[in-house]
A and B are shown apart, each in its own frame.
Chain A
Amino acid sequence: MAGSRQIERAAAAWLARRDGGDWSPGDQAQLDAWLAQSTAHRVAWLRLQAAWNQSDRLKALAAGVAPGEVPARGAWSASPYAPRGEAQASGQDDRATAEPLDPEEDARAVVAQASAAAPATAVTTAPLIGLTFTPRATPRSPRTARYAAAAAIALVAMSLLWGWQRYGVVEHRSYRTAIGALDTIGLADGSRATLSSDSRIDVALSRAQRHVALEHGEAFFDVAKDPGRPFAVDAGARRVIAVGTRFSVRRDGPDLRVVVTEGTVRLESEPVDGRTQPTTLLPAGSIALAGANGVLVRSGSIEDAERFVDWRNGYLVFRDTALSAAVAEFNRYNTRRLVIGDAAVGELRVGGNFRWSNAEVFVGLLEQAMPVRAERLPDRIVLHSR
């Protein structure tokens, strides 16, 4: 078999000849015979033909160029299409008008609008795309949120005490994990909790109630069915209640993320300034992000939701995720931190499944596949634009 370069040359010669005119049925028959001769011929031909068909679009650049004149290299910025040296403005314009917006992109735009509508507080939508936005009646400052959180924890503590006196405690203990460690705990009621890296839960099971307080980090719950004894996870000012289901709850400072992979859970919030807050029902496939200024819910497929809890299997799954968000994920699991060196690096988008235990490999791959340079220091790795 001829080498791939010869084949490519032959394919190009055929294509150029056909393109040049004077193309007879006899020529076509010969070409067909050549193409039928081997798949290697065919793929080489297809590839060149596809690119050549694409190059038809270069005509769009001819606007404003005098006929018979070949524009200088890189002279495209003057064209209305601004294919080169794309300015910031045109970049934004791109985002607003780019035609084949995929659904994710659409949804992101919705989030962007939503966050613009409530500019007082930052919305952390980083790892979540495709959310609908339920604005809270009054945006709260992080400070009141903290008071509310403290109050809620006190309240929980009090209710636990009350419950302990009233019903007698079946199990009451704390579990915690170090950075980079996972732990799965079998609870007395048959439920199981998987603690992510650097997480802590306080479990209080009584004969009438099942209470878990998520102090920090993330935990995935596989709840044993017991309709008479709801399973409630308290996290700050919010509470997630399930009957029998699988879901995860995660705290990021004042923010809470709930991912439901089976059954339905109820997300409740503490009253704010005496006003009760709406309760959100989350069916399987939901990803809810509760922040200081509201609850964002995305309802998607269960597979989609599963990928947010793939850390249980040792993986972090990214899909068109900003590098800044991906790095934050890695930092949940590793003591040697990844640091974003400049804003441009943070905005790069990454995808794929990565072992969270191996940030070093992740960084190596970034360096090879993206315009990233890594500065390796003993306690951290700084990522710079290249």
Chain B
Amino acid sequence: MDTALDAWFADEILVHEAALVHYLRRVWAHIDDVHDLRQEIYVRVYEAAGRARPHQPKSFLFATARHLMTDRLRRGRVVSIEPVGDFESLNVLVDEVTPERRLGARQNLRRLADAFDLLPGRCREVVWLRRVEELPQKEVAARMGITEKTVEKQVAKGMRLLAEHYYGATQSPADDAQDADRNREHGRKQTD
């Protein structure tokens, strides 16, 4: 277990998730694949970084994304890709367009609060009681009149959705299109 690598992964790679997902959605014709692609990209980056840490994590992340998509196209696992504009310039844009790591503590908190507010009602309540008030699982279950197992399930769901919204959030919360995007994804998450 390499904790330095894990910390590196969280600090240098996960922070770019919003940009990465945005990029994948744009160039990959099948939105449903994006979750899968994202995971596979993370796997490749993590494994490569275990051998040697890339100097420019964000560029490396996007280069890995491009290689993966190229590989998939070659293997014919996917039939079509929508080429959006000039691939060359896409390469360079992703380099730096969103300076995620510039987030200050307040912006970070705001992003968390936004992510938290996007949780469905019961899930949101469970997360608040468990995470913020740190009530024992048993007490949360008693208070809400649900089983402990349900509390745990809601926590698990909260973890997934928080990660999705926290890392997937864009810089400006005022961005309506992005909000719609997030809500749509939110809806899909709940139904699946």
Contact = CB atoms under 8 A, between A and B. Distances in A.
Interface of A: 3-5, 7-9, 12-13, 15-17, 19-21, 32, 35, 38-40, 42-44, 46-48, 50-52, 54-62, 67-68, 70-71, 73-74, 76, 81-84, 86, 94, 98-100, 102, 105, 318-320, 349-355, 358, 361-362, 364-365, 368-371, 386
A68 B104 contact: no
A43 B47 CA distance: 10
Contact of A46 (B9, B105, B128): B9
A353 B89 CA distance: 8
Nearest to B178: A371
A146 B85 CA distance: 45
Contact of B96 (A60, A98, A352): A352
B131 A56 contact: yes
Contacts of B130: 19
A309 B116 CA distance: 45
Given A50-B10, A55-B116, A94-B107, 12 more contacts: A12-B159, A13-B152, A21-B137, A43-B43, A47-B42, A51-B14, A61-B109, A99-B105, A102-B102, A352-B93, A364-B85, A368-B22
Interface string B31-45: 000011011101100
Given A44-B39, A46-B10, A81 B106 contact: yes
B92 to A, nearest CB: 4
Contacts of A368: 22, 26, 84
Contacts, number: 204
A83 B110 contact: yes
State which size class the interface on B falls in.
35 or more
Contacts of A44: 39, 42
A51 B166 contact: yes
Interface string B108-138: 1110111111000000110111111100110
Nearest to B124: A70
A84 B109 CA distance: 9
Interface in B160-192: 160, 162-163, 166-167, 172-178, 192
A374 to B, nearest CB: 13
B98 A369 contact: yes
A98 B106 contact: yes
A303 to B, nearest CB: 13
Given A98-B104, A352-B96, A5 B47 contact: no
B89 A369 contact: no
Contacts of A56: 131
